[in-house]
Structure 1
Amino acid sequence: MNHTIDIGTVNTLRVERETDPGLFLKAANDDEVLLPNQYVTHTMHIGDLLDVFVYTDSEDRPVASTERPYAMRGEFGFFEVLDITSFGAFVNWGLPKDLFVPRTKQKTPFKIGEKRLLHVDLDEQTHRLIGVEKIQNYLSPAPKTLQPNDVVSALVFAVTPLGYKVIVNHTYEGLIYKNEVFEPIKTGDLKSAFIKLRRHDGKLDISLQRIGTSSGEDAEQIRRLLHEHHGKMPYNYKSNANDISRIFHLSKKRFKRALTALQEAGDIEIKESGIYTKE
């Protein structure tokens, strides 16, 4: 249970009382917030602990919701621009009240319908949640405690000649190299990934595959796909690398290595027309 009500995050609060507008939820310090009727269900009772997201309504009053935004305070996300005013813009972040992005927090003027990478922050003066496009202030050098193959989240925010720039765990900047991508990926995607290397500048090299993946794991992936395709697929050692990447999410080198392992184990037969599961 939360000691205080924390705007912009998920709070665990106790159902205190029922009123016409909805349920009032209380934190340990006795602060209260309304959970409007639209979020109340018949399974909620006085004394229950509920996990709710707290933000401010159109009159800047704290309000609770059982729904979750696309990104919470301290997180990054891609948001569609819905409306523009002389003092800022409003974007869709998944809640009934749109997220406001002040003009002073925008890099370039927004346009309705486009998507922008934003950091969700709490404005210290107004105590409202806002979106901020100037993201560098929110990125930190990665600590040396991070290790290769640590599992992380990677939000793709830009494409460069080298690869895909990502925000790692909503805190660090990283890069996924293009020649190491064997699955569809685009700006705005949130991927589960692995740390490959921490560079001297505190940025991270990121991989979508576990580092040091064995041929056995790749072979199992091919075996599973063969099973899904009734024991035959029109691919072999001579297949195009792009086709292998698209279908198997493997480099051609790893694909060939896994095929050899499966053939030597007597699990598959490799022909000019493709690969076949042995009965």
Structure 2
Amino acid sequence: MSEQKINEKIYVGEINTLAIYRDSEPGMYLISEDKEEVLLPNAYVTNDMELGSFIDVFIYTDSEDRLVATTLEPYLYVNEFAYLEVVDTAAFGAFVDIGLPKDILVPKNKQRSIFHKGHKKVLKMILDEKTDRLIATEKYTLEKDIKGLKEKDEVEILVYSKTPLGYKVIVDDLYDGMIYHTEIFEKVYFGDRKRAYVKKIRDDDKLDISLQEIGNKVKDDKVLEVLKQKGGSLPFTYKSDAEDIKNTFGVSKKSFKASLTKLLNEEKIVLEETGIKIK
């Protein structure tokens, strides 16, 4: 239960804080400050819900365009992006799972690619301008004017495409960004949501993104941690293959060599002809 002030009005596709107003056979009715009501069906009513108390709910519309409240959290809110599974297709569009009992429509005119059941797509959830229904779209544009971000800032990214240079990402559900292949030291998949960092704000209003914190070298204890996990010794030296280092330690060869030197100077490991081991 929330203790904050209730919403002035009800917003579809968002979390709303509403007051429990009255009980009924199909469920409890919730009310906003401007006296707009919405049903919370019995499936979501719990014993601790009391008349007059506040509750946080997500608002969507049912098949008859009536407002409905749920205590379930969807995979995304209005104007946000997510990697959604196609659960059905029709001549007029496709339906995707957003984590609620009701799937939402991706109209045919909002599709860029071919939709097949079982496939996943990076989509944006929006309110249809004509019907006020929640729909998803593949035809989205990202903001060009980058505001409130600076280099080294922590951001949230969604991986949505792969190019010869790297992976394209949506930054904070607003901006276009890129993580270069040469700077990726972990597994990356379409639809991944990750914390990342702004490496550079480019002149073309796009962002270069890093999965590692800017200005901080990979921690030296990463090598030590992996060594402990692998029994205390591994067949790696300064001459080891960069790809093998990346796959085992999740760091670049440059970072690995720097870590190795530091750990040797601190006498935490021993370097032998065939590998390294904990001292």
Q: Work out whether the TM-score is over 0.5.
A: yes
- Kept in 2, the 8 Å contact 1:36–1:65? The answer is yes
For residues 46-87 of structure 1, give each alpha carbon's deviation from its aligned partner in whole angstroms, at most 9, with x where no partner exists. Answer: 232222111111111111111122221001112121211121
CA distance in 2, matches of 1:207, 1:181: 8
Q: Which of 120, 128, 153 is 1:115 aligned to?
A: 120
CA distance in 1, matches of 2:151, 2:260: 27
Report 1:147-158 matches (<5 A).
147-158=150-161
> 3-state SS of the aligned residue for 2:220?
helix
Residue 183 of structure 2 is aligned to residue 162 of structure 1: no
CA distance in 2, matches of 1:236, 1:67: 51
Give the structure 2 partner of residue 199 of structure 1.
Answer: 202
CA distance in 2, matches of 1:132, 1:173: 17
- Kept in 1, the 8 Å contact 2:146–2:175? The answer is no
Q: 1:270 to 1:47 in 2, by over 3 A?
A: farther
Q: Which of 44, 47, 57 is 1:42 aligned to?
A: 47
For residues 167-186 of structure 1, give each alpha carbon's deviation from its aligned partner in whole angstroms, at most 9, with x where no partner exists. Answer: 10010000000000000001
Q: Could you tell me the percent identity over the aligned residues? A: 47
Once the two structures are overlaid, the 10-residue window that deviates more, 267-276 or 120-129, is 267-276
Residue 95 of structure 2 is aligned to residue 90 of structure 1: yes
- Kept in 1, the 8 Å contact 2:86–2:95? The answer is yes
- Kept in 1, the 8 Å contact 2:9–2:32? The answer is yes
Residue 176 of structure 2 is aligned to residue 173 of structure 1: yes
Q: 1:98 to 1:145 in 2, by over 3 A?
A: closer
**Structure 2 counterpart of 1:258, one-letter code:** S
Once the two structures are overlaid, the 10-residue window that deviates more, 236-245 or 5-14, is 236-245
Give the structure 1 partner of residue 256 of structure 2.
Answer: 255
CA distance in 1, matches of 2:82, 2:111: 15
- Kept in 2, the 8 Å contact 1:102–1:130? The answer is yes
**Structure 2 counterpart of 1:187, one-letter code:** F
CA distance in 2, matches of 1:261, 1:110: 52
Q: Which of 16, 21, 28 is 1:11 aligned to?
A: 16
CA distance in 1, matches of 2:241, 2:51: 63
**Structure 1 counterpart of 2:236, one-letter code:** Y
CA distance in 2, matches of 1:66, 1:134: 29
Structure 2 stretches lacking a partner, 5+ long: 1-5
Q: What is the number of equivalent residue pairs in this alignment?
A: 274
**Structure 1 counterpart of 2:243, one-letter code:** N
> 3-state SS of the aligned residue for 2:8?
coil
- Kept in 1, the 8 Å contact 2:88–2:94? The answer is yes
Give the structure 1 partner of residue 227 of structure 2.
Answer: 226
Q: 1:13 to 1:250 in 2, by over 3 A?
A: same
CA distance in 1, matches of 2:135, 2:228: 49
TM-score (norm 2): 0.92
CA distance in 1, matches of 2:104, 2:226: 43
Give the structure 1 partner of residue 236 of structure 2.
Answer: 235
Alpha-carbon distance, 1:239 to partner = 2.6
Give the structure 1 partner of residue 73 of structure 2.
Answer: 68
> 3-state SS of the aligned residue for 1:242?
helix
Superposition CA RMSD, Å:
1.7
Q: 1:177 to 1:142 in 2, by over 3 A?
A: farther
For residues 249-273 of structure 1, give each alpha carbon's deviation from its aligned partner in whole angstroms, at most 9, with x where no partner exists. Answer: 2111001101111110112222234
- Kept in 1, the 8 Å contact 2:199–2:214? The answer is yes
Residue 35 of structure 2 is aligned to residue 30 of structure 1: yes
TM-score (norm 1): 0.92
- Kept in 2, the 8 Å contact 1:218–1:255? The answer is no
